[in-house]
Amino acid sequence: MRVVFVADPLESLDASIDTTVGLMHAAQASGAEVWVTEAGHLEAVDGRARAAARQVRLAPTRPVGGVRWTVPDPWLTVVATRPIWVDDADAVFIRTEPPVDQTYTTATFVLDLVDPARTVMVNDPRGIRACSEHLLPLRFPDLIPPTVVTAAEHTIREFLAAHGPAVVKPVDGFSGRGVLRLDLADPNLPSLIELSTDHGRHAVIVQRYLSEVESGNKRLFVVAGEPVGAVYRFPADGDFRIGHPSTKAPITARDREICARLAPTLLVNGLHTVGLDVIGPHLIEVNLTSVGALRKADALLGWTLCADLIDSVLDTREERRSA
């Protein structure tokens, strides 16, 4: 059995918290060979996807308190380095962090050559291209807070006048980067709008600021359209953006309604695993490129989200191959 991870450079990963590392551990524990490559190391040869890859063996690790795991030195050993055919794998996890730039997009087109009936793709490269993390929620206007997507300063000012303080974020942003709070009373407002829209050249997402964030931003972990766990994350002192998971969160009737509404869209696009960000009753974001926080939640709460996801994916592979 072989599981391939298309990831960021291993040297850049924080092995104490990174979900990719947690999934690699879980795949290894399941008895699978763990192979790792990068988006820029994929190539199309004779109509098949090939990758310059490394087979790795991970050292044992354990939770050490909070959201972190021990990091042995070294935390992995490279067993082999060679080109592999990606479609020989039982599962491929696309774990490269956004932004979805040219290198990322090219990699998804190469991965289109892998038959999803033979190799489970998490998530399907076609679905990653079709469904923007920040813009997919726009298809469900009754689930999200008041929102506009625009590059026009006058539209942003009109929105602030109608809805009060707002949050602005890049369309292709991630991990809270470039997220700003806007207020009509702020003398820096013109500069903030210029900065976020690049002087009106790039559209941004503007959403009403939700005071409910003080009670926590909920990350819902969704597998095959069903919620399997949830954690609260809170703003750090002096920063309105969201930090690490802090505590277990309940899965409410509203959360299940949101999941049920999104499930058909997720499933038809091959989005096996997503992380939904929810504030109060509102859907904020659908994390689908490199869903994070699973390893942190496992350490914090003693859960097995990474192992359960690996089991779910490999079970899916068996179902497809026996069909």
Q: Residue 303: inside a domain, yes or no? A: no
Q: Residue 310: inside a domain, yes or no? A: no
Q: Residue 177: inside a domain, yes or no? A: yes
pLDDT confidence band for 178 (50 / 70 / 90)? confident
pLDDT digits (tens, 9 = 90+) for 97-133: 988 899 999 999 999 999 999 999 999 999 999 999 9
Q: Residue 323: inside a domain, yes or no? A: no
- Residue 198 sits in a domain whose CATH number is 3.30.1490.20
pLDDT given at position 215: 85
Q: Residue 318: inside a domain, yes or no? A: no
- Residue 229 sits in a domain whose CATH number is 3.30.470.20
pLDDT confidence band for 173 (50 / 70 / 90)? confident
* 116 plus 159 within the same structural domain: no
* 20 plus 117 within the same structural domain: yes
Choosing from 175, 209, 243, the residue where a domain stops is 209
* 271 plus 136 within the same structural domain: yes
Q: Residue 300: inside a domain, yes or no? A: no
* 156 plus 175 within the same structural domain: yes
* 137 plus 277 within the same structural domain: yes
Classify strands 166-170 and 180-182 as parallel, antiparallel or unpaired. antiparallel
Cβ atoms of 5 and 95 within 8 Å: the answer is yes
pTM: predicted TM-score of the whole model, two decimal places: 0.94
Number of domains in the chain: 3
* 54 plus 98 within the same structural domain: yes
- In the chain, the DSSP E strands lie at 2-6, 33-37, 42-45, 48-58, 76-85, 91-94, 120-122, 147-150, 166-170, 180-182, 204-208, 217-223, 226-235, 242-248, 273-279, 282-287
pLDDT digits (tens, 9 = 90+) for 228-260: 999 999 877 666 666 789 999 999 999 999 999
Q: Residue 313: inside a domain, yes or no? A: no
- Residue 106 sits in a domain whose CATH number is 3.40.50.20
Residue 167 is part of which domain span?
146-209
Position 323 pLDDT exceeds 70: no
Closest by alpha carbon to 235, among 273, 255, 206, 209?
209
Q: Residue 115: inside a domain, yes or no? A: yes
9 to 38, 150, 298: CA distances (angstroms): 7, 34, 23
pLDDT digits (tens, 9 = 90+) for 180-229: 999 999 999 999 999 999 999 999 999 999 999 888 899 999 999 999 99
* 32 plus 166 within the same structural domain: no
* 29 plus 86 within the same structural domain: yes
* 205 plus 232 within the same structural domain: no
